[in-house]
Amino acid sequence: MYFVRPGNRPRPFGEVLASELTLAVMWIPLTVGIFWLTGRFPLERGKWLRHGAVHALGCAFVIACRAVLVFVFDRWLAFYDARPAFSQVVVHSVYNNFFFYWLQAGVAHALVFSSRERKRERMAAELERELARAELEALKAKLHPHFLFNTLHSISALVHVDAEAADRMIARLSALLRQVLDHSATHEVPLTEELSCLRPYLEIEKARLGERLRVVEEVEEEALDALVPHWVLQPLVENAVRHGIAPRAAPGKVIIAARREGRTLRLSVRDDGVGLRQEPGAKGGGLGIATTRARLRRLYGEAQELVLEPSPGGGAAALLVVPFQRAADASPGRPARPAADPLRPEDGRARGAYAG
């Protein structure tokens, strides 16, 4: 089988294949060099002249290099029937390689700019995550002094009436602050841990209100392992105690409930107190509820809901819906299942009335 190049004598196919493969292999180191050169000196705004000159020199180098290689290897591979002068080989190299250099440089530029864009997207996403994390920390930080002020106010009201009870409240506050500090950088915890963190606060309110406050937990077993925003229940319970139970003299009850519904976790805090004194949604417009709403939006976007409404039979109810996710299924770095409440030997699973 013979192969005829234009203007050349017929040549065996094997001989032509050897020469063409050699020409292709010669392009490998040159292609690597073109891609490296493009990565170091891309043609971009503000650098056209300087980087363009570098690529012009690179193109001239490739043309000269190919001409030298063809001229040298023609002795064995017979690229030409009769080897012409080197200047003629250079002219042929310009015809054959000028366009091919810029074609490869164009592909290299596409890869460089694509890599830059992906890097910018990763950096933007990381920046967005850092911003969201900082905003969450700021929102969470607002809750702590708000809670601390209200708790200290409760202790100050009790200290002249019942010193022993005030002392117990200070101990509960100390335990509670320890838990808050232990999870200062945590945004989600299992519900069982959230309930455990809530109990010292309930003991403080119980010491203040005595038999006027009764707390009941109605939590499904499956919901205990679900992740919830850390410190999400305390503002809701505080809202129920301070605005629902405390203003009246009669005993009252706060019910904390949780259950799974499909892909969502539904939490509720209901009281049988004085009820909403304004239109639904107006009660709880203070710092605690407003900050909780902002945290929920930051954590879950539109996949969450927090509604304050009248409770059936009197009182008010805070209804919270978040995506359901088990702590065991969460990504690495999530908090593990909690240890027991330092104030109670149970593991937080007990249900029913909690009298403090």
Domains of the chain: which residue ranges? Answer: 2-123, 161-354
pLDDT given for residue 174 in this prediction? 80
Query: Given pLDDT bands bounded at 50, 70 and 90, which one contains residue 346?
Result: very low
pLDDT given for residue 9 in this prediction? 54
Query: Given pLDDT bands bounded at 50, 70 and 90, which one contains residue 152?
Result: confident
Token pair, residue 151, equals 């708790």
* CB 214 within 8 Å of CB 126: no
Higher pLDDT, 261 or 9: 261
For 201, how many CA atoms within 13 A lie in the half-sphere containing its CB? Answer: 26
33-42, 256-265, 292-301: which has the minimum mean pLDDT? Answer: 292-301
Residue 68's H or E segment, with its range, is: helix 48-77
**Class of 161-354 in CATH:** alpha beta
Strands 213-219 and 252-261: parallel
Task: Write out pLDDT tens, residues 265-279.
Answer: 999 999 998 887 654
Rounded to an integer, what distance in angstroms lies between the CA atom of residue 298 and that of residue 212?
A: 36
Return the ∠ at Cα 221 (arms to 215 and 226), rounded to 5°: 95
pLDDT given for residue 163 in this prediction? 80
Strands 264-271 and 227-229: unpaired
Phi then psi for residue 230, to 5 deg, are -65, 135
Residue type at 324 in one-letter notation: F
26-30, 134-138, 250-254: which has the minimum mean pLDDT? Answer: 134-138
CA-nearest of 128, 187, 184, 133 to 331 is 187
Task: Write out pLDDT tens, residues 64-108.
Answer: 888 887 777 766 766 666 677 888 888 888 888 888 889 989 999
Instruction: Look at residue 104 and give its three-state secondary structure.
Output: helix
CA-nearest of 152, 155, 149, 150 to 207 is 155
Rounded to an integer, what distance in angstroms lies between the CA atom of residue 152 and that of residue 78?
A: 97
| Over residues 14-33, mean pLDDT | 75
Following DSSP, what letter does each residue of 205-263 receive, concatenated? Answer: HHHHHGGGEEEEEEE-GGGGGBEEETT-HHHHHHHHIIIIITTSSS-EEEEEEEEEETT
